[in-house]
Amino acid sequence: MANLLLIYINVIMVKRPYLLDRQFILKNLYRGIYFMFFSTGYFVFKRTQVEKREKEQLKELHLQNIIKQQKTEQELVKSHNSLLKAQINPHFLFNTLDFIYHTMTNNVQIASDAVIHLSRIMRFAIDSDHMGEVICLGTEIKHVETLFSLYQLRNIKTEIRLNYPPEILSLPFIPLVLLTLAENMIKHGEFSNPQQQAVIDFLYENDTLTITTRNVQSKNINIHSSKLGLNNVRKRLKYKYGKQVSLNYSILNEVFTLILNVPGIRGHHFSDDTDSR
């Protein structure tokens, strides 16, 4: 029809009559199909490009949401970890202050030495919030020895042996765990029999740290004890090292045994702000 119009206004000149016959219809139908195919292909191409951009935007948005969610979860874990640590800290302070209070009237020198030991331990407990997520295990072992010295001032029979190979001193480990285990031994242990000495054994094999504590359980222990310290330690360990970590304890013939296993401990590096003093 367009051709007929152009012929009518003398834009197209023809030497023969322009008839609406079969040849005319087929020729123009071909042209129509050709342009329809071209325009459809262009439309599909543009639509595909728009959908591709939308998918890329959705994918990027989804990735950003995942990253944001992971950061939020990490912050929650960090906050919960700090809360658990805060629940542990007063454990050392209250017990020791009670000892110093009752010792002050009988032996000022022992009480004075106890204050010095306590100040070192509490400084370490307070500074642990600024040491990063992990510290050198040897740092905490040093403060555990200070803790034992503190309790030996109170009771000369309170002696706990630490057995460890030198290579574990540089292992990265979360702070206050070992101190809590040691304080738990002192709080609930019986040390009157020198033949049944309390021990803390350290073993490091195949990148797995194993800490075993063993002591005779005191007959005056509260059977309804909530074991808040040990439960908090277990939660902190699982937050940091995952489900592969295990902390189990048992009582056999009045001997309390605790076994802590932490696989892949070398994979947890020190933070930039770690204080390994």
Cα end-to-end span (Å), the chain: 94
Rounded distance, CA 187 to CA 132, Å? 28
Query: Is 209 exposed, middle or buried (CB count within 10 Å of its CB: 0-12, 13-18, 19+)?
Result: buried
Does residue 117 carry a pLDDT above 90? no
- Report yes or no: 14 and 7 within 8 Å, Cβ to Cβ: yes
pLDDT at 275 (0 to 100): 39
Greater model confidence, 105 or 257: 257
Q: Enumerate domains of the chain plus CATH numbers.
A: 86-267 (3.30.565.10)
Greater model confidence, 175 or 208: 208
Sign of the alpha-carbon dihedral angle for 176, 178, 182, 185: positive
Greater model confidence, 131 or 272: 131
State mean pLDDT over 158-176: 88
**DSSP at 19:** -
Does residue 85 carry a pLDDT above 90? no
24-78 pLDDT tens trace: 677 677 777 877 877 888 888 888 888 888 888 888 888 887 777 666 555 555 5
Question: What are the b/e assignments for 61-98, b being 16+ CB within 10 Å?
Answer: eeeeeeeeeeeeeeeeeeeebeebbeebbebbeebbee
The whole-model pTM stands at 0.60
CA torsion 229-231-236-241 (nearest 10°) is 130
196-237 pLDDT tens trace: 788 999 999 998 999 999 998 887 665 555 566 788 788 888
- Residue 227: left (phi > 0), alpha (psi -120 to 50), or beta? left
Does residue 184 carry a pLDDT above 50? yes
**DSSP at 213:** E
pLDDT at 277 (0 to 100): 37
Range in 15-19, 115-119, 190-194 with the lowest mean pLDDT? 15-19
Query: What angle, rounded to 10 degrees, do the helices at 137-154 and 108-127 form?
Result: 160
Range in 190-199, 245-254, 263-272 with the lowest mean pLDDT? 263-272
**Strand ranges (DSSP E) for the chain?**
135-136, 160-163, 172-173, 198-205, 208-216, 246-252, 255-263
State mean pLDDT over 74-83: 53
pLDDT at 190 (0 to 100): 83
Does residue 257 carry a pLDDT above 60? yes
Rounded distance, CA 187 to CA 95, Å? 9
pLDDT at 213 (0 to 100): 95
Q: What is the mean pLDDT of the chain?
A: 76
- Report yes or no: 191 and 159 within 8 Å, Cβ to Cβ: yes
State mean pLDDT over 93-113: 74
SS3 call for 163: strand
* Percentage above 70 pLDDT, the chain: 68
Residue 245 has phi, psi (to 5 degrees) of: -75, 150
Q: Would you place residue 261 in the very low, low, confident or very high pLDDT band (cuts 50, 70, 90)?
A: very high
Of all residues in the chain, what percent are helix, strand and coil, respectively (each to 5)?
60, 15, 25
Does residue 239 carry a pLDDT above 60? yes
Q: Would you place residue 165 in the very low, low, confident or very high pLDDT band (cuts 50, 70, 90)?
A: very high
State mean pLDDT over 241-259: 90
Beta strands 208-216 and 255-263: pairing type? Answer: antiparallel
How many residues are listed for the chain in this entry? 277
SS3 call for 106: coil
